[in-house]
Amino acid sequence: MLTSRANVSVEATESARESPDGNHVELVREQSVRVIAGADADADTTDRGDEVVILEPSMIQIHQLARRVAASDISVLLLGETGSGKEILAETIHRHSARRDKPMLRLNCAAISESLLESELFGHEKGSFSGAAQAKSGLLEMVNGGTVFLDEVGEMPLSLQAKLLRVIEDRKVTRVGGLKPRDINVRFVTATNRNLAAEVARGAFRADLYYRFNGISLELPPLRERLSEIEPLVLMFLNRTAKQIGRKPPTLSPEVRAMLRRHPWPGNIRELRNLAERALVVCGDGEMITVEHLPVGEMARAACAFARASDPLLSMSASTIPPPLGDAGPGRSERQRITDALQQCAGNQSSAAKMLGISRTTLVSRLIEYNLPRPRARRRKD
């Protein structure tokens, strides 16, 4: 059974509070951090024993497929944005494969130089290059019988791609500076956040190696398309960090919950984890996490850069709203002017943009930048 709603419970409590204007009492729903149950034998955890949250139907499907695929020896290519959980999926594949009792080794192809990458993969003989004081077996030899996880494989230099292809086809590896080919038996799981097919098309990645790696590809959706997982993930990270530093688990304010759902999470779960850990250390013990505990400016900038990168129209619209005469602070007044204009135009974005003297796309980018809710499109009456 995959990690499911059953063991990712979010406890909700309701409490009565005076409204901000003091005129009435309102019910406030707070979600408190769940107590993470001990991992059951079949639950998904990372190799470090951290709990993995998988709630979104698309994610459940991918992890189920990964487990099915794990049983065969087919090579698997994992696609998805940075921080979306490719390494965790690679671990799942290894753990559910017949190679589970052998090692799984990871190599980040973007993190080291070409020559080091080659000697890490293939090993080297003594004296084969300056600094090679000892002979060293490479990853492919060391992991024999197990799984090699090549992360960011799209960054692998073409010359090394050719050598690796040879190794895969011959199932033999020769150390750098050596002559003796050694038998190897490894399964490749590779990952990239690039469009590898496009890299092949532009000649930056070898087509033959791409087909070797891409026995089957699994694509992880970005976190912004996994809305049901955002809050449980935040709560899980908060709970974990609170435990580590001996704090009471905090709760989330309704504004924070809304903000977390609106943010596009360009850094995906890694970004969310950092944000949760930071929020916990800046808020008081057992306090509710409010917007003040979040790096709002940083989030807005990241959201804006993301919107620009994913919408060429936005990147072309360089116009800014001209500041009105006598403005106190440009950031605050611009945000306020947008809110006012939208209110006056009953949420009609085109009219509000006209009123502000900017294009509709600029208005949308400002809404994202200032973390303002986008008004829903109205239906025309026939």
Q: Give the DSSP letter of residue 295.
A: -
- The CB-of-309 to ligand ATP minimum distance in angstroms stands at 17
Q: At what angle do helices 360-369 and 330-344 cross, to 10 degrees?
A: 120
- Residue 369 as a binder of ligand ATP (CB under 6 A): the answer is no
- The CB-of-19 to ligand ATP minimum distance in angstroms stands at 36
- Residue 217 as a binder of ligand ATP (CB under 6 A): the answer is no
Contacting residue, 269, 275, 280, 321, with ligand ATP by CB under 6 A: 269
- Residue 53 as a binder of ligand ATP (CB under 6 A): the answer is yes
- The CB-of-84 to ligand ATP minimum distance in angstroms stands at 4
Contacting residue, 270, 278, 308, 354, with ligand ATP by CB under 6 A: 270
- The CB-of-90 to ligand ATP minimum distance in angstroms stands at 8
- In this structure, what is the dihedral angle of CA atoms 73, 78, 84, 85, given to the nearest 10 degrees? 20
- Residue 80 as a binder of ligand ATP (CB under 6 A): the answer is yes
| CB atoms near residue 16 (< 10 Å) | 8
Cα of first residue to Cα of last residue in the chain, in angstroms, is: 50
- Residue 52 as a binder of ligand ATP (CB under 6 A): the answer is yes
CB-nearer residue toward ligand ATP: 51 or 120: 51
DSSP per residue, 199-225: HHHTTSS-HHHHHHH-SEEEEPPPGGG
- Residue 239 as a binder of ligand ATP (CB under 6 A): the answer is no
CB-nearer residue toward ligand ATP: 46 or 64: 46
- By beta carbon distance, the residue nearest ligand ATP is 85
Longest dimension (CA), the chain: 85
Query: Within 83-112, which residues bind ligand ATP (CB under 6 A)?
Result: 83-88
CB-nearer residue toward ligand ATP: 191 or 342: 191
**Beta strand spans in the chain (E):** 11-18, 25-32, 76-79, 104-108, 123-124, 136-137, 147-151, 172-173, 182-183, 187-192, 216-219, 251-252, 288-289
Name the strand (E) or helix (H) holding 328. Answer: none
- Residue 120 as a binder of ligand ATP (CB under 6 A): the answer is no
Phi–psi pair at 176, nearest 5 degrees: -60, 130
- The CB-of-35 to ligand ATP minimum distance in angstroms stands at 16
Tokens of 4: 């499911």
- Residue 232 as a binder of ligand ATP (CB under 6 A): the answer is no
Build a one-symbol-per-residue string for 17-46: x at contacts with ligand ATP by CB under 6 A, - elsewhere.
-----------------------------x
CB-nearer residue toward ligand ATP: 5 or 29: 5
- Residue 224 as a binder of ligand ATP (CB under 6 A): the answer is no
- The CB-of-224 to ligand ATP minimum distance in angstroms stands at 14
Query: Within 287-346, which residues bind ligand ATP (CB under 6 A)?
Result: none
Build a one-symbol-per-residue string for 127-156: x at contacts with ligand ATP by CB under 6 A, - elsewhere.
------------------------x-----
- The CB-of-81 to ligand ATP minimum distance in angstroms stands at 7
CB-nearer residue toward ligand ATP: 46 or 343: 46
| CB atoms near residue 38 (< 10 Å) | 7
- Residue 276 as a binder of ligand ATP (CB under 6 A): the answer is no
- Residue 249 as a binder of ligand ATP (CB under 6 A): the answer is no
Contacting residue, 193, 241, 251, 349, with ligand ATP by CB under 6 A: 193
- The CB-of-5 to ligand ATP minimum distance in angstroms stands at 14
Judged by the rule CB under 6 A, the positions of this chain that interact with ligand ATP are: 46, 50, 52-54, 80, 82-88, 151, 191, 193, 233, 269-270, 273
